[in-house]
Every structure is written in C-alpha cells, then in structure tokens.
Chains A and B, each alone.
Chain A
Amino acid sequence: MKSIVCMKAVPSTNQVRLDPVTHTICRDGRQAVVNPFDASALETAVGIKERLGGQVTVLSMGIPDTERLLRDALSRGADTGILLSDRAFAGADTLATSYSLSLGVKEAGGYQMILCGKMAVDGDTAQIGPELAGVLEIPCVTDVCEILHLTDKEVQVKKGVDGGHQILKVKLPVLLTVEKDICMPRMPSIAGIRFGETGPVAVKGASELAADPMRIGLTGSPTQVIKTFTPKRQSESIPIPGTPGEQASQLAILCKEVSR
C-alpha cells in the first residue's frame, strides 16, 4: 500500500495569544508543531504499512523550517518526505494550496491512498482534503474514525456524519480525512530518530514542480483578507457573589431563564 500523508505545521499550543494592552499577538517563542489531526493521519498510514507492507510519504507545504516536522514524521515511521517550499507558494488560500499539494502528490510518484487530518487547528477550515481530492479527481471520504477493512483494491471505513456514523466502501485510490481519535500517534523509536536525521526529505520549489504561477500562492488564491481585527470580547461579566448556597439559588434562576 503506497500512501501519502499531508501534514501542516501549526502554531504550538497557546502560542497565539493577544497582548491585552497592545492587542498585538504575543508569542511564547515555542516552535511550530504538527497539526494533531495530521499526526493521527500519519499513525494510520504507518499502521497500515506495518500490516500490509508498502511505503509512506509525508507531504507538506511551508517555510524551510517545516523540514524539521517532516523529519520528525520519518522518525515515527514515514519513509520519505516532500516539502514544497518557495516564496511563490506564500499566501495561498485553500484552492491554491490544494493545487500546490497536488503537484507534490505527483512528485511522490504513484499512490493508492492519501490521508489528511480532518482539519488544521489553526485555520479550522477542513477544506484541503476535499479540495485536493477534487484536483486529483479521486473520491474523498471525510471525518473517518475507523478503517474497517482494507485490501489493495478497496477500503471500508466508518465515518462521522451529522447525527451519527456511516459505514461505506470505496475503490482505491481514495483520499481520507481522519478524526483525531482514529488512533494514538506513537513516540519515535531510537532507530527512528536516527532515520529521521538522515532519511530522504526532498525540498522542492515552484519551478522544479512546473507549477502554474497563476495557480499558486497569493496570486493563485481567489480569496483575500482585506481586514483583520480584534474580536469584541464579552465586555462586562456579571459576578454572582455569596455562599455556595446563595450562588446556587441565583444560578438556578438564571439557568431556567436562559434555557427556556
């Protein structure tokens, strides 16, 4: 089974915080981490490789430093990495990103399955999976929480849907986006860490991939941000004072009122 796992570097937990005085973003200096949903996608792919054999390629688009995260993926069971890194890719929205990633997929040379996290925790759009599948013209199954049966021809999965779950079957090649709880990502082994340091990670620029300059980066993005601003917070919270008993009687009234 040849699979490709798409991974995104996201700000580490609590990294993005607003300075209450200046309303600018303050950082705690920690580095970017792998989007947690993508870590589950990687573990899923590595688990499949261990059962059925094959190869796992990790694919990302980002600044040169993202290579660090792909090497970390190598230490956790991936075989090769491809990083799309070029100034020309910067400022991409989901449409331009999915086109760019499709070039990386072609670079990987053949696959039966593409795995993505259900969404990235920074952007939260959940669009890259379905859009990448659309560019590649392969079927896409989102929100997969269990792989029930897999052969080299087809896969049966359980996916979350509005108000429940669904079991479905689809022929390969396919793109799956996975829920975080599909599996528990492993820690790197000692041998894995060594492989991570030396294993193959190819860094590719836009021209090496023969990217259409009108479809990548800010230029290739239909959407553009015209304004950013600090959201209005709850201006004044109302305190409920007193003993636990007094607080509870106030709360009881409030709860009844609000939930009516």
Chain B
Amino acid sequence: MTGLKVDREKCIGCGLCVKACVSHGLSMEKKKAVVNDHCTLCGICVDSCHVGAISLEKESVISDEQWKNSKGIWVFAQQKEGEILPVVYELLGKGRELADGKGCRLTALLGEAKEHGNTEKLIAAGADQVIVCRDSRLAEMDTEIYVKWICRQIQRFAPEIFLFGATGFGRALAPGVAVHMQTGLTADCTALEIDTKTGLLCQTRPAFGGNLMATIVCPNHRPQMATVWAGIMKAREPDPSRTGKVIETFLEEKDISRIQILKNLPAGVSDSITQASVLVVIGRGIGNKKNIPMMKELSELLGGRLGCSRPLVEAGWCEYKYQVGQTGSSVSPRLLLSIGVSGAVQHLAGINGAEKIIAINNDPKAPIFGISHYVVVGDCIEVVKALIRELSDIS
C-alpha cells in the first residue's frame, strides 16, 4: 500500500519529524508520531528521523519493460537564429561526464531552419552524435512542432536520459515532451549524477524556496528528464578534432502547429536581467526613489544591468521586469552587487545561481549577508557614491 508508515516500535517520540514537516502532516500522540490528513507524502520527515522509524512506501507500478533497452544521454540543443545557446554547451559538458561514467553515447538534438555549421560545434563540445532536423517550421520556437519531432525521435532511439536548458522555451518544451511520453521531469536541477548502484540519474534541485535540497529519481519511466538553468554546469573546452555521427531526420507533412506566430518583438539589450553577467540589485535600503539614477550609473560603470527587489516594484519605483527573485526573474550573473536589499527567502532563492555576491546593507543581521561572499556593513548611499567616484577614476 502506498503511504507514509511510522514504525511504532522504533519511534522514540522525539518529535523531530513533527518539526520537519512543512504541511502539519504529523503530530505526537501518546509519545509516538502519527500521520494525519495534512500529509502530502513529500518525504521530508523520512530523512529527519534519526532512528529510521518513518518510511514512505510506494506501490510499485508494473511498467513497460521496453525502457530496459533504453540507452544513451540526450541534450536538447536550443538555438536562437542559428546560434546555439551557451546552456547547451554546459549541458554537453555535464552530459559528457555522465556518458563516460555510464559508458554510453552522448547525443545532441538539434532543430533549425537551415544549416549553420552547428553540428560540428556540438560534436566539438562533447557530443558523439547529432540528431538534426532542418525545416523552416522549426525556425519559430513553437513547442507544438518541436514536441512532435522530438517524441518521434524518442520512440525511435529510446534514450535513457534527456536534458534541457531551463530557458523559457526549454521550460515549456520539456513538460510537453514528458507528458507525451508519460515520464517524469525534474525542473531546475543544480546537480546531476549517476547512482553507481542503480545506474539511475540522481537529480538534485532546490525545494521549498531553496531552503532544502531534494534529490529525485525516476526509476521506472524513460527517458529520465531534467531541466537545468544556464550557468550551473560547466562547458568543456571545444575540441575541433573530435568526430561524430550526424543523423538527419525530417518532419512529417502533417506536422502543423495550432499556434500561429504573428510577430516577434526582440527586447532591447538593456531589458534582459537574466542574461546579465554583472547585476546590481537594489532594495528598500536605498531609501528614496531619487537614488535610482545613481544606481543605474553604477550598474553602467560596472558594465552590468540594474535589477531590484520586490518592494521597489510594489512601491512603483521600478518595473516588474526588473524584479529579481522567485516571483520575478531568477538570475545567475558572475557578479551580483546587492545594495540595500535585506533578503527575503523568495529573493534569496532567485539569486542562488550568482557566482559571487557582494552585499551592502546597514543592518549587520540582514539575511542577504548569509549567502554573500563579501559583506559591507554601512550606509549604502555613502558607499555607492564613493564607489562611483572610484570606478570613474579607474576608467
């Protein structure tokens, strides 16, 4: 029977599981833990129990045995106007490592309108083969067409693992593929590794706003699918001497989309905070709307972009598209300079991917300092004024 079981013999009534539960799903009765109707079977309590009294039992699904023959690791090679996105090379870097560990092939899946010399680049970045489809219907990033093409390739070649970049398109495409194949999909993984015993892909992702990490597997369905944000995995140095196979595939005539794209509106460069490698993020601590131009100047001096925390959007000081955090944009710049941001959980979850965080805040206890590499306690306006002077002098 599926469900959460507490072994009453083993339970010592310590109450740690009750504290660990996020959904009030456990309570103590007569010094023993008891599961109630609020339990969502998330499994957090299982790891919280020091005596191993709690277990999550799952009725095993007799699944199609076909997947046992599935083989190989696939990476979806998203391109934009013929240019492969950096996240693809990062996934190929990781995919190469996993494929070498498993002793299997690494395949890149490339859809594009016409030949751009991308297959060579994908092979140089680590792919053993490229499954390519060149068709004008793939020019627009339309999930409907891509799902049809990709699912047909999965049915034909039966990959064991399939990785996607967590781009806007990837986050729409991957679930479309997963539901079509009736398999599992783990979003926004920060670590991927192969379990040496089971050979399964262990997918680690933040849960509950990044306060907990969860490792997830997909034991009985194939492919095992995951999305990964840009900037998490490392690309390999391209090796132009590598050789690989190119498999040409085609769309079918009947592959038409129910969605009609009328117009593309590319954003001005200044609009994109998710792609910025340097990001200045401002919060309530800047005190006054009048200080925003100064912050903008600082971001420009650093060759970066300006983002903000949620309160500034709510106060009407900044536009929503500049909001950094869980309800705005998640960012992963190389440098994030945080100014006057206290650091609510949702904000911190959105900046987790930043390589280096420098925070300026007048409150030494500000939560932002907990995840910052360098901390400046002081009046952020004074520091920024001085910093602008310094940077202007250097340049």
Assess the B22–A16 pair: CB atoms within 8 A. Answer: yes
Please tell me if the beta carbons of B217 and A252 are within 8 angstroms of each other in the complex.
no
Which residues of A sit under 8 angstroms from B199, Cβ to Cβ? Answer: none
Option from A37, A123, A141, A259 in Cβ contact (under 8 Å) with B303: A259
B377 at the interface (CB under 8 A from A): yes
1/0 per residue B20-57: CB within 8 Å of A? 11111000000000000111111110011000000010
CB-contact partner of A24 in B48, B61, B144, under 8 A = B48
Q: When the two chains form the complex, which single residue of A218, A219, A226, A252 contacts B390, counting CB atoms closer than 8 Å?
A: A252
Least CB distance from B290 to A in Å reads 19
Question: Could you say which of B23, B185, B335, B357 contacts A94, with CB atoms under 8 Å apart?
Answer: B185
Q: Establish whether residues A156 and B262, one from each chain, have CB atoms under 8 Å apart when the complex forms.
A: yes
Interface-lining segment among A45-53, A104-112, A199-207, A231-239: A231-239
Identify which of B2, B167, B169, B346 contacts A91 (C-beta below 8 A): B2
Contacts A94-B175, A168-B260: A17 and B267 contacting too (C-beta < 8 A)?
no
Name the distance in Å between A234's Cβ and chain B's nearest Cβ.
Answer: 5
| B contact residues around A14 at 8 Å (CB) | 344-345
**Of A125, A130, A140, A231, the contact of B210 (CB 8 Å cutoff):** A231
Shortest distance from the beta carbon of A225 to any chain B beta carbon, whole Å: 5
Determine the chain B residues whose CB is within 8 A of the CB of A127 once the complex forms.
171, 174-175, 178, 185, 187
Interface pick from B101-109, B122-130, B271-279: B271-279
Give the contacting residue for B373; candidates A16, A27, A237; CB below 8 A: A237
Contact A238 B375 (CB under 8 A): yes
Say yes or no for A188: interface residue by CB 8 A criterion. Answer: no
Cα separation A24 to B16 with both chains bound (whole Å) = 8
Least CB distance from B324 to A in Å reads: 14
Q: Assess the B373–A255 pair: CB atoms within 8 A.
A: no
Number of interface residues of B (CB under 8 A): 119
Q: Which residues of B contact A219 (CB under 8 A)?
A: 2, 58-59, 61
Interface residues on A, range: 35 or more
A171 to B320, CA, bound (A): 29
Give every chain B residue within 8 A of A230 (Cβ-Cβ).
211-213
The contact string, 1 if C-beta is below 8 Å from chain A, for chain B 137-157, is 000010110010000000000
Is the pair B372, A234 in contact by a Cβ cutoff of 8 Å?
yes
Query: Counting CB contacts under 8 A, is B19 at the interface?
Result: yes
A54 near B: Cβ within 8 Å? no
| Cα A233 to Cα B172 with chains together (Å) | 30
The answer to whether A153 has its CB under 8 Å from any CB of chain B is no
- Per the bound structure, the CA–CA distance linking A60 and B335 in Å amounts to 40
Q: Is the CB of A163 within 8 A of B272?
A: yes
Query: Residue on A with the closest CB to B319?
Result: A181
Is A121's CB under 8 angstroms from B216's CB? no
Q: Is B356 in contact with chain A by the CB < 8 A criterion? A: yes
> Taking CB as reference atom, which chain B residue is nearest A239?
B375
Name the CB-closest residue of B to A136. B179
Listed by A's residue number, 20 A-B pairs whose Cβ atoms lie within 8 Å are A25-B208, A65-B38, A90-B41, A95-B179, A121-B346, A130-B172, A131-B175, A140-B172, A163-B267, A166-B264, A167-B263, A180-B320, A217-B2, A221-B184, A229-B212, A237-B372, A244-B385, A244-B386, A248-B386, A251-B383
